[in-house]
C-alpha cells in the first residue's frame, strides 16, 4: 500500500481495533493510535501558530512514550511473522541474489538457499528506524522552513498505479490506445453494475431525490452561509405524504414541529429559545398549498482553520451527518456541539399574520430548513485528549419527542464523519422501520458512533479549539483547549485568541449575516450565538445503553507509574526527539 492508504487507515482505524485484544494490551494499542492520528493531523497542518506548535511538540513527546510502552509491554506477548507477500518478496530477492552470485564465487557461500527460505520468519517491532527517529524533528523543521504541505506526489502515484494495471492487460503494442479502451470499458461496466444493483433493491420512498432526478444548484456566492436550489420541481403534498407513511415514528407531530421551527425563522418574529409557540401563533402561519419542496443537495460554506473558504456538500442519501453549536440547555454536558443526520432538504413558501399585529398582514416568506434525526452525546464514555479516545454519540430513542426536528441550514457548521463502534454491534431498538433510515441500513442502527475527529485537518482543529479561522466557535470550544492543556501538561495559562490579534475578525468569521434571523446563530459578534434553538437538549437516555465508566480510565496504578519511568529513562536530554 502507498502512504496515502496508511493515512486513510490511520484516520478511521481506532474503532476497528477497539476490543480486539485483551484489556491491558487493547488500552495501549488504542493510546498509540490516538496519539499517532493526532500527531499526523497536526504535522500536516497548512498553517501553524506558536500554540499549535507547542501542542505538536507535546503530542510528539506523548507519542514517543506510547511507542516505547507498546514495544515493552505489548510486542513481547505476541509472536509476529512475515506476511505471505513479505515472504514471497524475500524469496525472490534471495533467488535473484543467488543467480548473480553464480558469477562471483566469493559470494556464492552467502547466497545458497537454506531450509528457512520458504518459511515465514519472525518479525519484531523495531524502534530503531529513521522514520520514527525523525518524528522529533518536525517542530524544529516547520519552524525553520515552513509547513509540510508544499508538495505531494499522491495524485501522480495513484494514476501511475492504475495505468500499470491496465498495461499488464495489453499486448504491449500500441498500448496507449488499448489502455484508453480498457479505462472506458471499466467505466461502462461499473455504471451498468450500479444501475443493475439499484433496480434489484426494493426501497421505500424516503424524503430524498433519486440520482436520476435533476435538481441543479445555481451559481453561489462564497460569502453566503449555504447554497441551495430554489427549484419547485419536486413538490411534496404534506397531507398525502403523511397519510402514506401513517404509523412511522419519524413523522409524529411533523406539522406542529415544522410550524414551530418556521415561526422562529420568520424575520422579525422574535421568539425566545426557551419560549414555546402557541396554538394561536401556529394558526396564523399558513404553508401555501400545504406543500413543501424537497431538494437533492445542500452546500455549506465555511472558513477553515487556515482562513480559507471551503464548502461541504450534504446529500441525504450519502453523506449527511452534521454538527451545529449546542444550545446550553443541559448544564451537565459541556460538549460544544450537537450532532444530527439530515433526512431531508426542503424549502416552504409560507404566509404569516402576526396575531399581535406587530407585523404587516399576511407577509409571504420562503423558509429553507433541514429535517434531521438527532444524535445524543454519550457523556458516560470517557473521551477527549486526556482519555485518548474519540467522542461517542448515538441516536436518540425514536420514542423521545425530541428524536426528530428541524434546523436552519445557516446553523450547520459543517459535515462531520461518524464511524460505527463495531464492537457494540447494531440494534433496532432505537427506531421502528422508518423512512428516516437509508435503504441499505436494513432498519438497523449502530449502538454508538465514534466521531472521526481526524477526518481532515480542519476537523482536528474543530476539536482542538485552535483554529485561527474558527472565530465563531472560539468561545464554545474552550472546553477542548482546557482538555488539551490538561492532557499534555502544556505550560502557561489557557490562551486567549492571541493568535488572532492581528487579523480582521470580520474576514475570518465562520458566517455572515445574510439577512435572516436564523443566519445570525454562528456570527462571531452575535451575542446570541449559543447555537441552534432546537435539538436533543440532553445526553442519550441512560436506559438505552450503559457504558462502563471505568472502561477508558487513564489513571495509572503503581505498576504503570514504574513503566512510565522506564519509558522515560531516555527522555532527560534536551533534544527534540519523540
pLDDT at 284 over 90: no
Q: Say if residue 370 is in the same domain as residue 503.
A: yes
Q: Say if residue 19 is in the same domain as residue 130.
A: yes
Q: Give the strand pairing for 392-395 and 412-415.
A: unpaired
Question: How far apart (Å, rounded) are the C-alpha atoms in residues 90 and 98?
Answer: 12
DSSP letter assigned to residue 318: S
pLDDT at 538 over 60: no
Question: How far apart (Å, rounded) are the C-alpha atoms in residues 42 and 48?
Answer: 9
Q: Say if residue 290 is in the same domain as residue 409.
A: yes
The half-sphere exposure of 27 on its side-chain side, counting CA atoms within 13 A, is 14
Can you read off the three cell numbers belonging to residue 549? 465508566
The pLDDT value given to residue 327: 84
Q: Say if residue 305 is in the same domain as residue 340.
A: yes
pLDDT in tens, 293-341: 999 899 999 999 999 999 999 999 888 999 999 987 677 788 999 999 9
Question: How far apart (Å, rounded) are the C-alpha atoms in residues 429 and 427?
Answer: 6
Higher-pLDDT residue of 77, 105: 77
Q: Say if residue 258 is in the same domain as residue 362.
A: yes
Burial class of residue 165 (count of CB atoms within 10 Å of its CB; 0-12, 13-18, 19+): exposed
Bridge partners of residue 392, in order along the sequence: 450
pLDDT in tens, 189-204: 999 988 887 776 655 5
The pLDDT value given to residue 547: 37
Angle between helices 558-567 and 50-69 (to 10 degrees): 110
The pLDDT value given to residue 94: 83
Q: Say if residue 440 is in the same domain as residue 492.
A: yes
Is 563 a domain residue?
no
Q: Say if residue 336 is in the same domain as residue 462.
A: yes
pLDDT at 544 over 70: no
The pLDDT value given to residue 378: 93
Is 114 a domain residue?
no
DSSP letter assigned to residue 127: S
Least confident of 81-95, 114-128, 517-531: 517-531
Q: Give the strand pairing for 426-427 and 418-420.
A: unpaired
Query: Any residues with CB less than 8 A from the CB of 76 and at least 6 apart, and which?
Result: none
The Cα-based distances of 150 to 4, 45, 130, 132, 153 in angstroms read 16, 11, 22, 21, 11
Q: Hey, CA dihedral for 456, 334, 388, 565, is it positive or negative?
A: positive
The pLDDT value given to residue 479: 92
Q: List, in sequence order, the alpha helices (H) in 116-174.
A: 130-133, 138-145, 154-167
Can you read off the three cell numbers belonging to residue 164? 500499470
Q: Say if residue 31 is in the same domain as residue 165.
A: no
Domain endpoint, select from 114, 133, 152: 152
Is 317 a domain residue?
yes
Is 569 a domain residue?
no
Residue in the structure block whose three cell numbers are 499534555:
488
List of E strands, 378-494: 392-395, 404-407, 412-415, 418-420, 426-427, 445-446, 449-451
Query: Any residues with CB less than 8 A from the CB of 343 and at least 6 apart, and which?
Result: 206, 207, 208, 250, 316, 320, 371, 372, 373, 404, 435, 436
The pLDDT value given to residue 519: 38
Cβ atoms of 75 and 491 closer than 8 Å: no
The confidence band for 535, taking pLDDT boundaries of 50, 70 and 90, is: low
The confidence band for 153, taking pLDDT boundaries of 50, 70 and 90, is: low
The pLDDT value given to residue 204: 55
The confidence band for 567, taking pLDDT boundaries of 50, 70 and 90, is: low
pLDDT at 577 over 80: no
pLDDT at 500 over 60: no
pLDDT at 41 over 90: yes
Q: Say if residue 308 is in the same domain as residue 290.
A: yes
pLDDT at 573 over 50: no
Is 554 a domain residue?
no
Question: How far apart (Å, rounded) are the C-alpha atoms in residues 2 and 422?
Answer: 26
Q: Say if residue 400 is in the same domain as residue 506.
A: yes
Question: How far apart (Å, rounded) are the C-alpha atoms in residues 472 and 500?
Answer: 12
Least confident of 152-166, 377-391, 397-411, 449-463: 152-166
Is 100 a domain residue?
no
pLDDT at 501 over 60: no
Is 407 a domain residue?
yes
The pLDDT value given to residue 357: 63
Average pLDDT, the chain: 81
Cβ atoms of 325 and 529 closer than 8 Å: yes
pLDDT in tens, 49-77: 888 999 999 999 999 999 999 999 999 99
Higher-pLDDT residue of 502, 494: 494
pLDDT at 209 over 80: no
The confidence band for 111, taking pLDDT boundaries of 50, 70 and 90, is: low
The pLDDT value given to residue 356: 66
Can you read off the three cell numbers belonging to residue 544? 438505552
The pLDDT value given to residue 199: 74
The pLDDT value given to residue 416: 95
Higher-pLDDT residue of 243, 555: 243
Q: Say if residue 184 is in the same domain as residue 231.
A: no
Residue in the structure block whose three cell numbers are 537454506:
114
Tell me the residue range of the domain where 10 lies. 3-80+124-152
Is 137 a domain residue?
yes
Higher-pLDDT residue of 276, 577: 276
Q: Say if residue 145 is in the same domain as residue 285.
A: no
pLDDT at 570 over 60: no
Query: Any residues with CB less than 8 A from the CB of 150 and at least 6 apart, and which?
Result: none
Domain count, the chain: 3
pLDDT at 398 over 60: yes
pLDDT at 526 over 50: no
The pLDDT value given to residue 513: 39
Amino acid at each position: 500500500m502507498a502512504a496515502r492508504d496508511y493515512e486513510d487507515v490511520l484516520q478511521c482505524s481506532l474503532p476497528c481495533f477497539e476490543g480486539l485484544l485483551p484489556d491491558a494490551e487493547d488500552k495501549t494499542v488504542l493510546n498509540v493510535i490516538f496519539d499517532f492520528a493526532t500527531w499526523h493531523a497536526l504535522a500536516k497542518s497548512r498553517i501553524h501558530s506558536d500554540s499549535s506548535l507547542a501542542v505538536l511538540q507535546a503530542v510528539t513527546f506523548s507519542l514517543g512514550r506510547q511507542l516505547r510502552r507498546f514495544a515493552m509491554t505489548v510486542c513481547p506477548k505476541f509472536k509476529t511473522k512475515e506476511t505471505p507477500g513479505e515472504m514471497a518478496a524475500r524469496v525472490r530477492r534471495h533467488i535473484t541474489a543467488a543467480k548473480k552470485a553464480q558469477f562471483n564465487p566469493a559470494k556464492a557461500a552467502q547466497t545458497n538457499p537454506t531450509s528457512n527460505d520458504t518459511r515465514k520468519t519472525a518479525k519484531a517491532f523495531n524502534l530503531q528506524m529513521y522514520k520514527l527517529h525523525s518524528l522529533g524533528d518536525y517542530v524544529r523543521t516547520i519552524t525553520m522552513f515552513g509547513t509540510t504541505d508544499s508538495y505531494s506526489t499522491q495524485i501522480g502515484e495513484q494514476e501511475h498505479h492504475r495505468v500499470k494495471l491496465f498495461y499488464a492487460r495489453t499486448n504491449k503494442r500500441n498500448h496507449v490506445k488499448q489502455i484508453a479502451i480498457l479505462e472506458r470499458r471499466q467505466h461502462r461496466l461499473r455504471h451498468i453494475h450500479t444501475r443493475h444493483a439499484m433496480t434489484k433493491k426494493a426501497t421505500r420512498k424516503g424524503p430524498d431525490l433519486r440520482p436520476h432526478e435533476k435538481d441543479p444548484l445555481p451559481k453561489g456566492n462564497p460569502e453566503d452561509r449555504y447554497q441551495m436550489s430554489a427549484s419547485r420541481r419536486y413538490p411534496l403534498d404534506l397531507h398525502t405524504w403523511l397519510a402514506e407513511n401513517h404509523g412511522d415514528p419519524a413523522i409524529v407531530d411533523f406539522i406542529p414541529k415544522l410550524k414551530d421551527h418556521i415561526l422562529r425563522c420568520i424575520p422579525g418574529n422574535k421568539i425566545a429559545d426557551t419560549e414555546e409557540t402557541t396554538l394561536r401563533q401556529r394558526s396564523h402561519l399558513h404553508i401555501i398549498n400545504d406543500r413543501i419542496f424537497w431538494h437533492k443537495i445542500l452546500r455549506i460554506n465555511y472558513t477553515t482553520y487556515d482562513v480559507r473558504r471551503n464548502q461541504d456538500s450534504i446529500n441525504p442519501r450519502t453523506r449527511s451527518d452534521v454538527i451545529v453549536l449546542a444550545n446550553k440547555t443541559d448544564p451537565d454536558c459541556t460538549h460544544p456541539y450537537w450532532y444530527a443526520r439530515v433526512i431531508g432538504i426542503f424549502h416552504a413558501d409560507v404566509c404569516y399574520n402576526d396575531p399581535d399585529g406587530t407585523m404587516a398582514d399576511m407577509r409571504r416568506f420562503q423558509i429553507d430548513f433541514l429535517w434531521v434525526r438527532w444524535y445524543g452525546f454519550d457523556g458516560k464514555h470517557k473521551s477527549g485528549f486526556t482519555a485518548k479516545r474519540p467522542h461517542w454519540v448515538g441516536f436518540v430513542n425514536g420514542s423521545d419527542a425530541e428524536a426528530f426536528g428541524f434546523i436552519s441550514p445557516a446553523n450547520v457548521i459543517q459535515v462531520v464523519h461518524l464511524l460505527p463502534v463495531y464492537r457494540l454491534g447494531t440494534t433496532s431498538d432505537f427506531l421502528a422501520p422508518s423512512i428516516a433510515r437509508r435503504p441499505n441500513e436494513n432498519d438497523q442502527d449502530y449502538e454508538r458512533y465514534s466521531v472521526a475527529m481526524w477526518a481532515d485537518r480542519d476537523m482536528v482543529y474543530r476539536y482542538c479549539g485552535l483554529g485561527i479561522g474558527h472565530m465563531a466557535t472560539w468561545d464554545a470550544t474552550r472546553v477542548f483547549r482546557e482538555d488539551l492543556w490538561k492532557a499534555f501538561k502544556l505550560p502557561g495559562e489557557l490562551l486567549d485568541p492571541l493568535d488572532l490579534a492581528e487579523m480582521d475578525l470580520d474576514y475570518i468569521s465562520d458566517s455572515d449575516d445574510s439577512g435572516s434571523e436564523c443566519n445570525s446563530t454562528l456570527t462571531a459578534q452575535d451575542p446570541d450565538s449559543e447555537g441552534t434553538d432546537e435539538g436533543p437538549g440532553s445526553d442519550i437516555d441512560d436506559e438505552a445503553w450503559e457504558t462502563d465508566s471505568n472502561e477508558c480510565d487513564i489513571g495509572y496504578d503503581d505498576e504503570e507509574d514504574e513503566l512510565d519511568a522506564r519509558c522515560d529513562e531516555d527522555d532527560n536530554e534536551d533534544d527534540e526527539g519523540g
